[in-house]
Structure 1
């Protein structure tokens, strides 16, 4: 009986299972029939409304909405017999905000995708691929920073229990337009999938070849070849460091993945091997304008599948021209959705580094055409991003440039810091920095202001409006300067500091004639007009090295030491010179000079001929001093005197830096008896660009008239005017050197230099042998003590 009940129970269960299976089969059949026969276009209003509420924008499907069934594309075993639903919709639009100039933020001809069925049981929505047909996106931003790509998504009070996993996005072509009023950008980009994946190593090689051809266009083939050698040397150093890092990693037991050793799949740096880099899958081209400058370019990025892993480097490549600047890069972005980090090989070429300002916001000086390449690494941080252009090499004009720069996005202004070195610096390549290059060079770098043909001092204005955009702390060393043989300059060092619109060079130091010429320059660009302060020290300049190509000066001994203090206002070098106030002082200590020079300066004809034929003697310089005062751009000679055993020479007059004209008189006074002397004042007149040196014709005419008159009486008497009597009254050297101990001073920028009393020794006409011709103001001003004596100069 129990057995009968068991058989009955089993039969009941079997019937129940059969009914359940039957019901499920019917339900599945009904669902299949429903899905196949239902007009899904009737669901479009409901879908449009739900999506519009979710994204805060009007969403519409204006074409057909379909649902079908397909076998899974990649499943195996029994799973491949479970069909997946396939959804497709045509003519989709997403509206723009009311203020946008375009009607739609995005349009799409068609979208279709499949959904895996079995993961739905675990509340996972798995979409292997979304196919997009002709997507088009319009991006807009206004000056008040409103933009159309920020959506207001409806926030649910309860966390969703469903998870969405999208594996890939496929499309044939797409278009992106950008209209940005803040950056004055109006650009259009086309995107498309590549025919086949491109490894990063191959892209690196192609970009390197293309960029080096571009470098040759900017700095010439010779410059590009030298840049190649510089870059190869830097790459060898980088590879050596990377090998050491890899060896260290292997020794510690953390050997890199074998795939990472391929140049096509990974990047190895001195920090060690990076994770394998996926290939490029999407290409793009762009054209339009940025900051009112023409833009064109192309590049590649990784496929959408590569975006899934935030820890895996995402490959990027770009080759873009913005105006006359060419920017190319190959490398990776970590977590591109949030721009966590950059690691790029970066090439830059352009007509002038100053043209990077509209693109990057980094203030750089005007330069000759340049080309650089190096590694750009960076971290995007909320508190301030940091980017490093590491160990880059470059050519600027005909000079090399190497170093590292760091950009820190701090508040209130970013900071650019670093150290730069030029091993072979062409002196002419420094000219564009102060606008001293030719008009042809100015035109090439886009500078509209031309240098007047009659002006020697640069009139091109400083771009002080850019000085407040960024702070700077950069050191530059020019180890060897290539220049005209007549220039006794050997090297250069400067420390550039810019803070809130104030530019300082502390110091700007040149190696000159075996000594140094060091200046501290402060330019306050926050004021209008610019206010400048300058202090200069010349130390141990060797006389013979100051005139390297003058044979008669090569036996000269002695040093030139001096100090200057000036202040000025104006927005160009010429304007600063034209308004300068202050003092300039210099003296020569413990020296000798060619006697031929001294006799020629005194126009002692017989002695000049004798020295030319037989003389090789040098004469001792007892003392030599120069003291100029600058008042509103006019340099007046308070003292300019040279005393030797053979002669005393004085100079007076002025130099007008506003008109760039000179009017100087040179007065020689011989010591000892001279026959056939045409001793007469000399002059230096004219402009800086066209100076004239000659003999005072009036004095010579008087002496010549005397020769003729006496010659008519007695031929031997004609020699009397040509005989120069001895003038054995030397300069008061001790007093001169004592007076030179007072350091030069300058008033605040924009104020006139206060007059000072004449040196004590100038109160006696005889003491200076004519030095009293230099008229000095009578009003006195306190002098500041400074180490300017001969002994102190020797010890500097």
Structure 2
């Protein structure tokens, strides 16, 4: 019994001695075995000038003169080398095949990382560890000093260089202890900048984030951010003030997986926070072109596709800043100098946008975005007041429900759906103009300012195509417009009827209070394969009825419409003749039917040779026009009639 007790005591004593020795020794004799094991695992030669280890629950390992050879055929003979590498390793997790580095500090190092177009690289292990599941590696903190990393990725077309060095913190302000300088090229575009961080970066599982500042530039895009970052390899908590500016938001893709639209130059500031898989940009304010923008946005990373949510507001929205969304060039074509080649003739120039929507971007993200603008600026004869839009993009289907404008004292409402799940985008559009005031439709036309009445319109189209031009060129559906109530300038009506007598009288007397009652105006078109054919086209006033017919070719952007005035009153000096609206959208032309006009003029000339007074006979209008059936016309297009606001006036007895 005593012998057994003595034996156990001796064994226990030996274990204690060994443990004490293990804790006291520096284990430098393991340098050779460590070199052999590392070389075997990496499949390349690994050498050390020195190896030291202090065995503890968190064991400290110090490597000096580390050299890791590169793979065969590489440009540089060494993949990495370092003067000093210090690792603090937790021992117990090793029993579960997990490597937890509480600290990794590298001093005086250089690394060359490369990947070929076929995906092969110089950092992948030569062989897999077949002793069980792969090791789980966690690095909690990182410290770098005089470390240079060269990265060449032919697969992503990226080349970059990073230099990290310790930095002396300023007496006041954030405790920056490390400076990072970086530069490189991405798809041929240069980028570069610098960053400052805490002397020790918390990479994982720490409640104490480190201070962070970055000032970077990619092509013409400038990014500045300052705040705190923590747990980079975990949840990557970010809390920074962000300031970003550039020529267009679209160039941020694919730097970030967010397919933003093409825009004019922009600058946006806000507070960016990241928690788990969500980024939040709050207090956002800035400008996109001439448009101010403010609001909040969030970006949620999801396995299937990311989700963007945003609620944005604008005090003044400049429509030219939205034009690039549908392929409209915001810049006016420059006028050529004398002696220079002339631009494309207006008759041949197209005006409908032909830039194609990017299918891959519409399928890369889901989105739910609202934008409200209190005031709208627009060039040309558009009477927009305010703007409101709700964009929903889900599974490649984009819905604008609604896309609304305040328009000429009324409103323009539209629901538009673009299905981008196939090669050709399928589009359904329903557009309605409600209670737009005639006096505000053409604010630059003095005669129209004195006209009253309200306009309603109803448009329903289905089509397929990847640009606005292609969509309209294949469209099927209906278009209708109606005007009810109010008055219209008498001079306009007489001018259309070519009633020189009354028009001259109105001009001499000054056209004050010279209005004629507008009984109704109706235009309906049936659209088939991009060609709109008139079904009804009537403008009816107390003095004149104007009938019309024709086509509008949306594919070729050509007009072919005839207006035939039928004055209801008697007058002299009438050279009534049909008017043709022809030409292109870019260069419309109004032509008088010369055959009819010359017939009257010839008769007047012939009679004038007999008796000058008799020359007026062909120019006397006896008033053959009759009232149009406004009730019947408007009932055939209930949507536009209702949008115009109110029933037509009763027929006036003749």
TM tier, smaller: 0.7 to 0.9
Alignment root-mean-square deviation, CA = 4.0
Q: Which runs of 5+ in 2 are unaligned?
A: 1-16, 54-59, 90-100, 335-343, 650-654
Aligned to 1:336, the other structure's residue is in SS state coil
The residue that corresponds to 2:46 in the other structure is 60
**Is 1:178 aligned with 2:151?**
yes
TM-aligned CA distance change 1:430 to 1:572, over 3 Å: same
Q: How does 1:191-230 map to 2 (within 5 A)?
A: 191-194=164-167, 196-198=168-170
Report Cα offsets for 1:223-282 as digits up to 9, x if no partner: xxxxxxxxxxxxxxxxxxxxxxxxxxxxxxxxxxxxxxxxx25xxxxxxxxxxxxx1111
Tell me if structure 2 keeps the 8 A contact 1:56–1:153. Answer: no
Contact 1:787 1:793 in 2 (8 A): no
Deviation at 1:470? 0.3
* Aligned equivalent of 2:113, options 127, 130, 138: 138
Residues 791 and 176 of structure 1, relative CA distance in 2, 3 Å threshold: same
Report the CA distance shift for 1:501/1:451 in structure 2 as closer, same or farther (over 3 A).
farther
Tell me if 1:689 matches 2:586. Answer: yes
Q: How far apart, CA to CA, are the structure 2 residues paired with 1:513 and 1:410? A: 43
Q: How far 1:67 sits from its partner (Å)?
A: 8.0
How many angstroms apart in 1 are the aligned matches of 2:424 and 2:115? 39
Deviation at 1:371, TM superposition (A): 0.8
**Which residue matches 2:354?**
459
Q: Cα distance, 1:555 vs. partner? A: 2.9
Q: How far apart in 2 are the matches of 1:525 and 1:114?
A: 53
Alignment equivalent of 2:414, drawn from 514, 519, 537? 519
- For 2:139 and 2:150, the matched residues in 1 are separated by 28
Which residue pairs with 2:400 in the alignment?
Answer: 505
Q: Secondary structure at the match of 1:736?
A: helix
Match status 1:188 vs 2:161: yes
Return the alpha-carbon distance in structure 2 between the equivalents of residues 505 and 738 of structure 1.
29
What is the Cα deviation at residue 515 of structure 1?
0.5
CA contact (8 A) 2:248 2:263 kept: yes
Change (3 A) 1:283 1:140: farther
Contact 2:567 2:624 in 1 (8 A): yes
Selected match of 2:599 from 669, 694, 702: 702
Of residues 274, 296, 301 in structure 2, which corresponds to 1:378?
274
Q: Is the 8 A contact 1:57 1:96 kept in 2?
A: no
- Partner residue of 1:49? 36
Determine the C-alpha separation between the residues in 1 that align with 2:189 and 2:362.
22
Distance 1:46 1:661, change over 3 A: same
- Quote the residue 2:123 is aligned against: 148
Hey, what does 1:535 align to over in structure 2?
430
Distance apart, 1:193 and its partner CA? 1.6
Contact 2:433 2:643 in 1 (8 A): no
Query: Which of 616, 627, 631 is the matching residue for 2:528?
Result: 631
Select 2:67's aligned residue among 88, 93, 97.
Answer: 93
Q: Deviations over 1:499-555 (max 9, x none)?
A: 122222111111110001111111122222221111111100011111222222233
Offset, 1:337: 4.0
**What is the match of residue 474 of structure 1?**
369
The answer to whether the Cα contact below 8 Å between 2:630 and 2:648 also exists between their aligned partners in 1 is no
Q: Which secondary structure state, in structure 2, belongs to the residue aligned with residue 359 of structure 1?
A: coil
Map Cα deviations across residues 370-410 of structure 1 (whole Å, 9 max, x no partner): 11111110113xxxx11111121111111111111111112
SS at match of 1:197: coil
TM-score normalised by length of structure 2: 0.82
Structure 1 CA distance, aligned partners of 2:82 and 2:648?
A: 80
- Secondary structure at 1:312's aligned position in 2? coil
- Structure 2 residue 627 is the aligned partner of structure 1 residue 730: yes
Q: Deviations over 1:463-491 (max 9, x none)?
A: 12211100111001121112347421111
Structure with the higher helix share, 1 or 2: 1
The answer as to whether partners of 1:307 and 1:314 remain within 8 angstroms in 2 is: no
SS state of the match for residue 419, structure 1? strand
- CA 664–422 in structure 1, closer or farther in 2 if over 3 Å, else same: same
Aligned to 2:467: 572
SS of residue paired to 1:480: strand
> 1:514 touches 1:540 (CA, 8 Å); kept in 2?
yes
Larger Rg, first or second structure (1 or 2): 1
Aligned counterparts of 2:515 and 2:289: Cα–Cα separation in 1? 43
**Change in CA separation of 1:451 and 1:515 when aligned onto 2, cut-off 3 Å:** farther
Q: CA deviation at 1:455?
A: 0.9
**Deviation (angstroms), 1:178:** 2.7
- Which residue pairs with 2:256 in the alignment? 360
C-alpha separation in 1, matches of 2:421 and 2:88: 62
- 1:496 equivalent in alignment to 2:391: yes
2:227 corresponds to: 331
Structure 1 position 135, deviation (Å)? 3.6
Alignment check: 8 A CA contact 2:30 2:51 kept: no
Residue 421 of structure 1: aligned partner: 313
The answer on whether the counterparts of 2:203 and 2:232 sit within 8 Å (CA) in structure 1 is yes
What residue ranges of structure 1 are gaps of 5+ in the alignment? 1-23, 69-85, 116-125, 158-163, 203-263, 266-278, 443-449, 745-785
* Closer, same or farther: CA 93–602 of 1 in aligned 2, 3 Å: same
Could you list the per-position Cα deviations for residues 440-461 of structure 1 after superposition, in whole angstroms to 9, with x for gaps in the alignment? 899xxxxxxx999711111111
Tell me by how many angstroms 1:101 deviates.
Answer: 7.9
Give deviations 1:146-191, integer Å, cap 9, x for gaps: 883789789999xxxxxx99998563x2111234466432212111
Q: Partners of 1:418 and 1:470 in 2: how far apart?
A: 14
* Aligned counterparts of 1:88 and 1:346: Cα–Cα separation in 2: 39
